[in-house]
Structure 1
């Protein structure tokens, strides 16, 4: 019998026999079989297309979804007193992200070296990446690393933090995930608006998360050896993917401190915390006093206006309208008078780090760390000092 290969293209080997088992199908049966396979393949392709489409759409929706909280943040950067160019640190602040970079100073001693420019470009492109809806800080760092001019003779440490409405999509990638629970009771905690703070840290800059006057999360510095931090840039084998990734659920009024080693090498953690508590207390008391003063002014104003009204009917209506107007003015006045305590504190801490850095007899965090690593070092470590203080506020 002659087999027409157009309709019967199959020859299946029978593993239990040495001969071949030939499969014969009728023309009609084969057509149905072939068409069903063709349709099945087509459906699979369509399903893949649908999945790709909706997957992309869902991702876009997720990217567009903003968290319930935002950063009220201020930053300050003070260069090493001996550096005419203002130092090699850089930072950025936006509504939902913060970042700092510390250009490695050793490059400034190399002809044509410019670590400050490298750090500035790194932060500029990091912010650009976040504004284009990227919410993975390691991917942000990778984008900035690729975009930064490769001809620049410089390298930098970096830390980037992003507020997200969702937890990180791939928790397995998180190298230093911390499961932190709120100290408040569950019922109260569930009523508070929340977001996720996701951060990538590469090198010896870092961050701390503070809640209810306690530090609940601190990044760990990355070093190859004492005073030799991880860094990305010229002639460095470190990559953005080497950064440690952190994730924590944050709440309204949580505080995040992000800074370069110029701060953490000179000011102990406990002193930073004490300063935050002190400045917050002063700010709250000042705000309370101002509210009382404004209320007294409002009451006096309403009392004077009431005496001027003559007609009882028109007086009631005027009083009502004027009261609403006065309240609006009061609210606007309080808004204008309100200052974020973090602005003054960031400046004071940056200046304090410089002051400690100049003191040859000061027992600094850097000198303690040197001793732990078998080195003797006395005094502060004078360096560029950059710090961001951010408090989480409710998005109205």
Structure 2
């Protein structure tokens, strides 16, 4: 479960007409026609299997031959009786609408204009007065065959060059703190301009975009993902998306699996315990404790009778477990003034995976 941010100031609404006017004029920037590149797409999405009945999949997505968008609704809102599913759907719907409006524009788009498009979509979502927040990730293949990549939060975009069998791009994960991703929505200080943006003008036929929520990246390593992809080269992208999703889902439920998420948790606990013990002072005692991390939100690691609380500090989200509503065993060791913990298992979560393989548009009259 992701956590909601501290309440911030509201943003001002921007003008839809002002946004659209950026792509109607200035014909001096219109470039010549060329063979257009598009996506062949595949999609996998699943609701977390450990969610109680009635809880929705809070991931949302849209796919088109020219763009892909995913949004991961922040689950921490459920403690306020609010599902972020509606918010993430509305955000994706508005992004999809705006991208379709500029679909055939031959005007060269730069970073400023792309961020304005995202901001316009966000402001339109705000005007709906829905409560919630969400991460947001977008890839766009424009009419000039420039690939735009935008990511805000802990979803990720990976671009794999099939012809060279290598990853040519991997976006960064953006978090304020443990399990607190950058997010757009109610109470968040984050804005579209805070997202990571890249543009590529050298993409090739066969290059593959994997755009997915953290349900994939927390449960499979990059090496595992590429291995599955390479093992299924030549198959329909829908089949590849399903194979990735099914593997991630199985891994998320494996309590003994050393997942990317478990590695991250152990690093977090190690950092926190080191800081705690430095503050506590030197202790020559040696002890080994077994700690139970429960679903009641009182997640803690007991190191030599001193409790290290690993709940989000400063959160007003009441009792939330950082371990996504599932029990885990942590073996906690204290040697001198250093406490470390071994957390095992995948991370049950909503999972959404989109695959976009770049091809020539068969309907392009200029091919």
TM-score (norm 1): 0.61
Give 1:96's aligned residue.
Answer: 66
Counterparts of 1:250-329 in structure 2, within 5 Å, are: 250-280=203-233, 283=235
Give 2:196's aligned residue.
Answer: 244
Shift, 1:231, TM fit: 0.4
CA distance in 1, matches of 2:204, 2:93: 28
CA distance in 2, matches of 1:54, 1:242: 27
CA distance in 1, matches of 2:254, 2:265: 17
Give 2:183's aligned residue.
Answer: 231
Q: Does 1:147 align with 2:124?
A: yes
Q: Does 1:77 align with 2:27?
A: no
Counterparts of 1:1-396 in structure 2, within 5 Å, are: 56-58=26-28, 61=30, 68-81=36-49, 82-83=51-52, 84-111=54-81, 113-133=82-102, 136-149=113-126, 150-166=128-144, 195-211=145-161, 212-248=164-200, 249-280=202-233, 283=235, 341-375=236-270, 376=341, 377-396=343-362
CA distance in 2, matches of 1:371, 1:206: 21
Contact 1:263-1:353 within 8 A present in 2 as well: yes
Larger radius of gyration: 1
Q: When the two structures are aligned, how many residues end up with a matched partner?
A: 256
CA distance in 2, matches of 1:259, 1:271: 15
Residue aligned with 2:193, SS: helix
Unmatched 5+ stretches in structure 1: 1-51, 167-194, 284-340
Unmatched 5+ stretches in structure 2: 1-21, 104-108, 271-340, 363-367
CA distance in 1, matches of 2:94, 2:146: 22
Contact 1:259-1:386 within 8 A present in 2 as well: yes
Tell which has more relative contact order, 1 or 2 (C-alpha 8 A, sep 6+). Answer: 2
Shift, 1:66, TM fit: 7.3
CA distance in 1, matches of 2:152, 2:71: 9
Contact 1:66-1:164 within 8 A present in 2 as well: no
What is the CA deviation profile of residues 168-219 of structure 1, one whole-angstrom value per residue up to 9, with x for unaligned ones?
A: xxxxxxxxxxxxxxxxxxxxxxxxxxx3211111000011000122111000
CA RMSD of aligned residues (A): 2.3
Structure number with the higher strand fraction is 2
Pick closer, same or farther for the CA change 1:57–1:104 going to 2, 3 Å: same
Pick closer, same or farther for the CA change 1:118–1:65 going to 2, 3 Å: farther
Residue aligned with 1:253, SS: coil
Pick closer, same or farther for the CA change 1:275–1:198 going to 2, 3 Å: same
Shift, 1:95, TM fit: 1.2
What is the CA deviation profile of residues 351-387 of structure 1, one whole-angstrom value per residue up to 9, with x for unaligned ones?
A: 2222111111110001112223335432111000000
CA distance in 1, matches of 2:188, 2:47: 24
Pick closer, same or farther for the CA change 1:359–1:251 going to 2, 3 Å: same
Pick closer, same or farther for the CA change 1:121–1:382 going to 2, 3 Å: same
CA distance in 1, matches of 2:75, 2:135: 11
Structure number with the higher helix fraction is 1
TM-score (norm 2): 0.65
